[in-house]
Chains A and B, each alone.
Chain A
């Protein structure tokens, strides 16, 4: 039984954490089975994903009901805000690792292989005397064969315009709820979600083009692997953000949120801005500089 006190909140007994543990166990067991060539690996993984998705849907639904019924006090609100802060800290570390890998490859390891600096003096003449360090590269071993680099103009620039526009529309939605203008709030949220899924669709098209026409694959040496790891994980985050904002749109339509109480929306909106800024970083460092 849930109980609210002035200083703290006692959550009710809940089945969602154990359901999540079972789902994740099935997912990882399925993955291990798949790696070992088992026929049931993929099926086990799909069941695991479905169990986790159901757990999240039901658990978040319960949190929304509790919030709307007024069960949460200021202390709960405060804990949600700090949880958001730590979640974002983990996200920043996650992307920092991949940007760091790109930085290391471009600034250190590739120039060393090409003969630059103290590392290059010993590495280049012995291992790869004919290798010239230029970026983009799949390395001196020519892993994956000849490829074309992804140009900045075209879909990447169009996708940047789409995401920046979605940043504008979500900001309009933000100001609309702060002024209690619900119709505009819903409308701008719908526009943001639409732009988000449009981005994902174009990114998928770009990947198909890269694989089929440009021989640019995850296996295309250091350029291919950093390109797909960065843009792929970013694409996954855009998908998650668009799903979050879809839920916020549905809640806005149901009359949830007000000028004074809208943390769920504000956190999802901030996440969307974060995903937008990560893309801007990708656009600059992967496609331009």
Chain B
């Protein structure tokens, strides 16, 4: 359960960085690099999240939906 909460918490961080990039895209009117920086953070956290999913699976802490029936 703790693993699932961690995955969802990091996914929320991804959403937050993406949303902040949109705010900068509208507010800064192309006058700053804040949009690009926020999107770079977004990509970094996303790759980290995928790596975490792999590690949680590798150590048996989380299992994807298996073959059903």
Contacts and interface: CB of A to CB of B under 8 A. Distances in A.
A182 interface: no
**Which of under 10, 10 to 19, 20 to 34, or 35 or more describes the interface residues of A?**
35 or more
Nearest to B21: A270
Contact of B18 (A267, A274, A284, A289): A274
Q: Which range holds the interface residue count of chain B?
A: 20 to 34
Nearest to B7: A284
A81 B49 CA distance: 30
B64 A277 contact: no
Interface in B14-69: 14-15, 18, 21-22, 25-26, 29-30, 33, 35-36, 39-40, 42-43, 46-47, 49-50, 53, 62, 64-69
Contacts of A171: 36, 39-40, 43
A166 B65 CA distance: 26
Nearest to B31: A260
Contacts of A175: 36, 40
A77 interface: yes
A49 interface: no
A167 B38 CA distance: 13
Interface stretch (A6-14, A58-66, A146-154): A146-154
16 contacts: A81-B25, A81-B29, A84-B26, A85-B25, A88-B22, A137-B68, A152-B65, A161-B50, A164-B47, A175-B36, A175-B40, A270-B25, A287-B64, A288-B53, A288-B65, A289-B4
Interface of A: 74, 77-78, 81-82, 84-85, 88, 134-137, 146-153, 160-161, 164, 167-168, 171, 174-175, 178, 260-263, 266-267, 269-270, 273-274, 276-277, 280-281, 284, 287-289
